[in-house]
Structure 1
Amino acid sequence: MNNIEFIRNEEKKYHDFCYENYKLFEEGSWLYKPVKTVMDLLPLFDNNESLNVIDLGCGVGRNSIPIAEAIKNKNGKVVCVDLLDSALNKLKEYSKQYKVEKVIRTEKADIGNYKIKPNEFDFIIAVSALEHVKSEEVFEEVVRQMPEGTKNNGVNCLIINSEVQEIDLETNEKLDVLMELNLSIEVMMNKLSSIYTGWEVLKTVVNPLEYNITRSEKPVLLKTNAITYVVRKSIG
């Protein structure tokens, strides 16, 4: 097993556990509520007669379900892409529970291999997903597809972890970071600004965050500088 396979196996175990033991929109985990930045962008599309959205690395629908609820009367769709069966199976259950199954369309794929159709989407979101592609080269390939897949006046919302640390809470020892891509803020921002040249920047902020997670049944502190990057495609 190579390093990427090991990391993905550990991430799968962590996410499978979360999805099985924590319910969507119930307190106790990061599934408690959607990302405020994502939801705050929806009014930008109030005048759209229809709305096509894609959620890359959708998980169980933390953001997809509320978006689908907001646009279900807009002749809209939310394409939800994830690699984990546990995520997509739960997403299908939740979409029925919240009565948005007609709006949600699931696609099982590694986002590093997923092909975004050109000029297809009004709103593309990738929340804590792009750092899980296999390499910097794949990251750039995926992100370059996002502008091409966006309609005029469409919005891309990227939230990416950078400069991640993992610390054993029992020994205070720094651990190997189990994340495929762990770039500095500077490198990540340079890549994004280069790819999105000419786009209107609606929001760019870096938030230091900490989470208590479990790795191999041990409590671990995950520290990250989370980059939020929101841009709009100008009509040209």
Structure 2
Amino acid sequence: MSRIDYIRKEEKKYHDFCYENYKLFEEGSWLYKPVKTVIDLLTLFKGKSNLKVLDLGSGVGRNSIPIAQEIKNNNGKVVCVDLLDSALNKLKIYSREYEVDGVIETIKADIGNYNIAKDEYNLIIAVSTLEHVESDDAFENVIQRMALGTKSDGLNCIIVNSEVEEIDINTGENLDVMMEVNMKTSDMINKLRQSYDGWELVNQLVKPLEYKIVRDEKDVLLKTKAITFVVRKQ
């Protein structure tokens, strides 16, 4: 099994467990609430109708369901792309529960290969997903497709991990990081800046984070420098 296949197997195991054992918007996991940066961006579209949003790596709808609730009365639409059946099946259930199933469209695809139509979306978000494409080149290619797929005056919102470490809490041992793309923070920011040359920088932030996860029934401390990067197409 290749390193990429192994990482994806482990990530599938981790996410399948989370989606099965933690309920959306209930305390106890990162599914508890949407990302504030993403939701705050909706104020920039206030009063606009027919908004079209793309959520790359949507999971069970942590961000896409609140977005759909916000834009449903103005004929908005949210396209949710994810590779995991467990995510998409739960997303469909939650979409009905929160009465936005008419707003949300689900697509099963690897975001690293997903084709984005040109000038199609007002807002494209990728939250903790771009580090899971298969290579640095794939990372750049996805960003280029995001940029091309954004309408004039539209926004791209990227939240991505960098300089990630995984440490066995019991032994202190440094483990292999289960992320396909794990760049230095400065290198990742440079790539983002270059890819969005000519766009307006709305927000750039680097926030050190650490939290406990479980890998193979072991408690693991995951440390990261999370980059928030929001740009507007001129």
Fold match by TM threshold 0.5: yes
Where has structure 1 moved over 3 Å in runs of 4 or more?
none
Task: Give the distance between the partners of 1:198 and 1:93, measured in 2 at CA.
Answer: 40
Question: Counterparts in 2 of 1:86-97, with a 5 A limit?
Answer: 86-97=86-97
Question: Counterparts in 2 of 1:115-194, with a 5 A limit?
Answer: 115-194=115-194
TM-score normalised by length of structure 2? 0.99
Q: Superposition RMSD on alpha carbons, in Å?
A: 0.5
Aligned to 1:225: 225
Per-residue CA deviation, residues 100-158 of structure 1 (Å, 9 max, x unaligned), is: 00000000000001000100000000000000000011111110011110001100000
Which AA in structure 1 matches 2:198? G
Q: 1:49: Cα distance to partner?
A: 1.9
Q: Is 1:200 aligned with 2:200?
A: yes
Which AA in structure 1 matches 2:170? E
Task: Give the distance between the partners of 2:49 and 2:71, measured in 1 at CA.
Answer: 10
The alignment-based identity, stated in percent, is: 66
Aligned to 1:38: 38
Task: Give the distance between the partners of 2:94 and 2:47, measured in 1 at CA.
Answer: 28
Deviates further, 106-115 or 43-52? 43-52
Task: Give the distance between the partners of 2:16 and 2:227, measured in 1 at CA.
Answer: 25
Per-residue CA deviation, residues 167-213 of structure 1 (Å, 9 max, x unaligned), is: 00111111110110000111101110001001010100000011110
Task: For residue 72 of structure 1, give the secondary structure of its aligned residue in structure 2.
Answer: helix
Q: What runs of 5+ residues in structure 1 fail to find an aligned partner?
A: none
Task: Give the distance between the partners of 1:147 and 1:46, measured in 2 at CA.
Answer: 22
TM-score normalised by length of structure 1? 0.98
Task: For residue 73 of structure 1, give the secondary structure of its aligned residue in structure 2.
Answer: helix
Aligned to 2:54: 54
Q: 1:44: Cα distance to partner?
A: 0.5
Q: 1:47: Cα distance to partner?
A: 3.4
